[in-house]
């Protein structure tokens, strides 16, 4: 801001532009060494743009009758009024700058502006003005997505979690079904749900177990406390009037060719020799060749018929660091067992899927092995080993086992 003196050739009708000359010191990291024997000419150009905020004096003389314009007293008075009124108008226009994180004038007003949207700043002595401005700028971007599913994805990324977000449909507010986010016409439900179902305020926030984490010198997919920061932040940002269901997903994958398949999270899975139905090929040779006259192959055999018999699951705490490729592999230390509902066994053109959920109330530490069995028997047809999972009371464990027809090796 410059101070103007009317007796030094200042004109009230001067245009709102002026050339300013000054000296500036620059600190740069780049350097150049000139070689006069090789370099014929060196041209360095720099362009500097400076925004200068100043009051704009107003020419108020046209508001007075012409017959008074020759009065020096009036001229001095009006000139001073023009400066003061211009200053007031400039300050009035600058009010809008109080609402911008990069234009608000002081740290005090930065904190006032942040308080309007609930920003918690670091203590005054622990942060610079630039840090406060960045915090406020980030908070404004966050405020725009807060309360949406996108905000949950951001929180998950910050906590190094891969997450699935599910809508939850029900027709009795007791049993809920996971559905991918669906947008339809009025009274339209996702496929498979009749008009008695509706989207509830419940939603699933499901962490995918796809990363090995070292905790206490042991390899884990999930351990007690891993979810604490995610849940704490979620409860502060979740959409209003909604009920989050916190879940973890174990997703072993393998193929029907008896290959040992390892997926993210070091999850190894393989079908056993008791898997009696697999993809059949007429050109198989050797021990895999089919013989029609020996009754080993029929044209109407069904993968679904066999798959629907695999209804028993067992989770155990043995085989930590083991290998499912061993021919004598078995579940070493069974800890939890249950039944797969046949409606949760899905057979399509590409794969067979088995799904079951271990409820919140079930607590079990150190789960490292999974077996699927023919229902009512001890016939193991699929086995999987993985790093430790601590099943805690704050999450449901959803297990989705997928056996693909194609060769995944």
Interval 45-93: pLDDT, tens: 767 666 655 667 788 888 888 888 888 888 889 888 888 888 887 777 7
278-296 pLDDT, tens digit each:
445 555 556 555 555 555 5
Q: What residues contact residue 259 under an 8 Å CB cut-off, 6+ apart?
A: 270, 407, 408, 409
Q: Is residue 150 part of a domain?
A: no
Q: Is the pLDDT of residue 4 over 50?
A: no
Residues 206 and 223 reside in one and the same domain: yes
Residues 116 and 171 reside in one and the same domain: no
- Alpha-carbon gap, residue 321 to 385, rounded angstroms: 8
Helix, strand or coil for residue 178? strand
Asked if residue 319 lies in contact with residue 331, where contact means CB atoms within 8 angstroms, the answer is yes
6-57 pLDDT, tens digit each:
444 544 444 545 555 656 665 656 566 666 666 556 666 767 666 655 667 7
Residues 182 and 212 reside in one and the same domain: yes
Mean pLDDT value across residues 313-335? 93
Residues 114 and 163 reside in one and the same domain: no
Residues 380 and 278 reside in one and the same domain: yes
Residues 63 and 104 reside in one and the same domain: no
Residues 272 and 344 reside in one and the same domain: yes
Q: Is the pLDDT of residue 261 over 50?
A: yes
pLDDT score for 20:
57
- Which residue among 248, 273, 296 closes a domain? 248
Name the residue range of residue 141's domain: 100-145
Residues 393 and 277 reside in one and the same domain: yes
The total of structural domains in the chain comes to: 4
Q: Is the pLDDT of residue 234 over 70?
A: yes
Q: Concatenated DSSP letters for 108-175?
A: HHHHHHHHHTT--PPPGGG--HHHHHHHHHHHHHHHHHTTSHHHHHHHHHHTT-EEEEEEEEESSSSS
Residues 383 and 398 reside in one and the same domain: yes
Mean pLDDT of the chain: 83
Residues 226 and 113 reside in one and the same domain: no
- Which residue among 94, 110, 136 closes a domain? 94
pLDDT score for 400:
97
Residues 368 and 270 reside in one and the same domain: yes
Mean pLDDT value across residues 219-241? 87
Other beta carbons within 10 angstroms of residue 101's beta carbon come to: 18
Asked if residue 386 lies in contact with residue 368, where contact means CB atoms within 8 angstroms, the answer is yes
């Amino acid at each position: 801001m410059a101070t103007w003196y009317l007796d030094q050739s200042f004109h009230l009708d001067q245009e709102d532009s002026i050339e300013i000359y000054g000296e500036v010191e620059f600190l740069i990291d780049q350097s150049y060494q000139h070689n006069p024997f090789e370099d014929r000419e060196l041209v360095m150009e720099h362009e500097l743009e400076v925004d200068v905020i100043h009051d704009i004096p107003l020419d108020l003389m046209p508001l007075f009758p012409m017959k008074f314009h020759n009065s020096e007293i009036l001229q001095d008075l009006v000139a001073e009024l023009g400066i003061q009124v211009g200053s007031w108008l400039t300050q009035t226009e600058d009010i809008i700058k109080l609402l911008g994180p990069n234009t608000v004038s002081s740290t005090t007003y930065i904190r006032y502006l942040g308080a309007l949207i609930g920003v918690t700043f670091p203590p005054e002595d622990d942060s610079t003005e630039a840090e406060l401005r960045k915090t406020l700028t980030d908070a404004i971007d966050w405020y725009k997505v807060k309360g949406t599913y996108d905000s949950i994805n951001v929180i998950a990324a910050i906590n190094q979690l891969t997450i699935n977000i599910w809508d939850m449909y029900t027709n009795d507010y007791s049993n809920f079904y996971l559905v991918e986010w669906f947008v339809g016409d009025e009274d339209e439900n996702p496929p498979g749900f009749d008009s008695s179902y509706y989207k509830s305020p419940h939603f699933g926030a499901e962490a995918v177990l796809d990363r090995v984490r070292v905790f206490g010198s042991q390899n884990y997919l999930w351990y007690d406390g891993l979810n604490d920061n995610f849940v704490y932040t979620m409860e502060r940002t979740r959409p209003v009037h909604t009920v989050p269901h916190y879940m973890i997903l174990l997703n072993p994958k393998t193929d029907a060719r008896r290959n040992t398949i390892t997926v993210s999270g070091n999850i190894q899975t393989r079908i056993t020799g008791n898997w009696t139905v697999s993809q059949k090929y007429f050109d198989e040779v050797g021990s895999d060749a089919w013989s029609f006259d020996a009754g080993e192959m029929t044209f109407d055999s069904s993968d679904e018929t066999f798959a629907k018999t695999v209804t028993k699951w067992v989770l155990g705490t043995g085989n930590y660091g083991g290998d499912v490729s061993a021919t004598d592999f078995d579940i070493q230390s069974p800890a939890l067992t249950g039944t797969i509902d046949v409606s949760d066994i899905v057979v399509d053109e590409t794969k067979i899927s088995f799904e079951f959920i271990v409820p919140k109330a079930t607590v079990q530490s150190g789960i490292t092995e999974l077996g699927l069995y023919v229902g009512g028997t001890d016939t193991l047809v699929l086995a999987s080993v993985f790093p430790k999972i601590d099943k805690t009371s704050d999450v449901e464990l959803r297990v989705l086992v997928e056996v693909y027809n194609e060769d995944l090796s």
